[in-house]
Amino acid sequence: MSETRTFESLGLSSALLRALDSSGYTVPTPIQAQAIPMVLDGQDLLGAAQTGTGKTAAFGLPMLQRLSKETPPKGPRKPRALVLVPTRELAVQVADSLKEYGRHLRMNVTTIFGGAGMQPQIENLRRGVDILVACPGRLLDHMDAGHAKLDAVEVLVLDEADRMLDMGFLPQMKRILARVPKERQTLLFSATFEDRIKALAIEHMRKPRLVEVAAQNTIAETIVHRAHPVDAASKRDLLVDILSARHADQVLVFGKTKHGCNRLAEQLDKSGLPAVAIHGNKSQAQRQKALDAFKAGRARILVATDVAARGLDIPNLPLVINHDLPMVAEDYIHRIGRTGRAGASGEALSLVSPEEGALLNQIQKMLKGEIRMDVVAGYEPSRPIRLDAPMPPQGGRGQRPAGQRAGGQRRGAPQASGDQAAGERRPSRAPGKPGHRQGGHGKAQPPAAHAHAGPKAPGGRGRGGRGRGGRRGGGSSA
């Protein structure tokens, strides 16, 4: 559909078309081509599309057109549209896109998120808002203090809805939904929709239409998947070798813990590989500074926890590396969705330790294909990667640990105010790769029963001739 439709044919106003034209947007993506007419028609919508397919424009353009039909009064005014997002980075990104699309309209777009001062946000709310882009925790702070009033909201958007409506956010969502008029248009957009999340979303919508432009839990076909089996203690040295060999590429590296990401970025920097870290314990200013440095090329490597996996738009990123596999298989999609965007080719490389065999297995089951395993000489694992191994104790079979919130907080634990949950925590193709075995750069193949990646005959050594047992402290805690 996107090959034959134009933005003009979707019924968008001349002001929006001018903004799109000046930004270089000419042909709508499939999710935009299907969703925009439905949203313009006033229907509630569930939009499922993989990351990087243009979900923001799919809800932002028709929302702006609806709001622009009425000239906003001068002076303070309540928000008429509310966009809820899971992270601070996504809030900034969505707001910037809406401002770009609505540059020829009189629309005031304001963001609210934790990790930033309350007072500037209060002043913005007092000046008047047309579209409010907010993270739930900080929005509730402003609602409780009487600064944010939602009784004039006409359009409610839940972006990254699978996370926003995950069980861990249900209390926050119910409080916000109770303050938004029932007579409204509700739009949910996300890269993935678990059946239970979809059922929960429908409870808060009126006969929603469903638009799916990709199969559930799929990723771009232009992404190549590979994995290197390696002992956990050797991961960091192997990562240094990989990044040194691919010295011209910008790389996004995912780790498991906030402390580990900080430590990994520091060690990469000491190895002559400029790196910055981003995670939930960083202040908004620190996170934005790191992102700006990465996007501007001042830092070639960005080390991140899953907080950075959602919604970040990093153009032409050729490589994403999983230093640690995610505990939830669906998070693999969101991590590697940073590469291979808008039809470009990309590569997803995972460093897999023997303890992570079950995590690899659940990812391959979700992908319905085998990820090619390439052993790097000198980094042979001490034992095979067994796909039938038990799940690590922190999680199980693609689900979050029992009683745990999305974002690591356990149900029943005291809840902090603001955005202290789910990634909103406040502060407290290069050709040959030297050192890598070539081959296997195709897409996922039909699953095999085992990952044949056991120890190989000795003969290779890692950096500086270090043996398997003698590499300096690695570990998979990063």
One domain for residues 98 and 240: no
| Last residue of one domain, picked from the residues 169, 191, 212 | 212
User: pLDDT at position 394, please?
Assistant: 52
As beta bridge partners, residue 210 has 46
DSSP 412: T
pLDDT < 50 stretches in the chain: 1-3, 167, 395-478
User: pLDDT at position 17, please?
Assistant: 95
One domain for residues 13 and 48: yes
User: pLDDT at position 311, please?
Assistant: 55
User: pLDDT at position 423, please?
Assistant: 39
Q: Is residue 69 part of a domain?
A: yes
Q: Is residue 247 part of a domain?
A: yes
One domain for residues 380 and 351: yes
User: pLDDT at position 51, please?
Assistant: 60
One domain for residues 330 and 195: no
Half-sphere exposure of residue 428, counting CA atoms within 13 Å on the CB side?
9
One domain for residues 208 and 270: no
One domain for residues 68 and 200: yes
For the chain, the domain total comes to 2
User: Helices 329-336 and 357-367 sit at what angle, rounded to 10 degrees?
Assistant: 70
Q: Is residue 238 part of a domain?
A: yes
Q: Is residue 88 part of a domain?
A: yes
Q: Is residue 405 part of a domain?
A: no
One domain for residues 121 and 267: no
Neighbours of 287 (CB within 10 A): 25
One domain for residues 293 and 377: yes
One domain for residues 188 and 259: no
Domain housing 176: 8-212
Q: Is residue 122 part of a domain?
A: yes
The CATH number assigned to the domain holding 239 equals 3.40.50.300
Residue of 142, 159, 178, 140 lying closest to 83 (CA atoms) = 159
Close Cβ partners of 396 (under 8 Å, ≥ 6 residues apart): none
| Last residue of one domain, picked from the residues 212, 246, 278 | 212
CA angle 320, 324, 328 (to 5 degrees): 95
User: pLDDT at position 460, please?
Assistant: 40
Coil, strand or helix: which one is 239?
helix
User: pLDDT at position 414, please?
Assistant: 33
One domain for residues 30 and 123: yes
| Last residue of one domain, picked from the residues 212, 243, 263 | 212
One domain for residues 187 and 236: no
DSSP for 177-218, written as a single string = HHHS-SSSEEEEEES---HHHHHHHHTTSSS-EEEESS-TT-
Beta sheet of 131-134, edge-to-edge order: 109-112, 131-134, 81-84, 155-159, 185-190, 45-48, 209-212
Identify the sign of the CA torsion 173, 174, 175, 176: positive
Q: Is residue 430 part of a domain?
A: no
One domain for residues 250 and 138: no
User: pLDDT at position 472, please?
Assistant: 36
**Cα(283)–Cα(145) distance, integer angstroms:** 22
As beta bridge partners, residue 224 has 347
Q: Is residue 414 part of a domain?
A: no
Helix, strand, coil shares of the chain, percent, nearest 5, are: 35, 15, 50
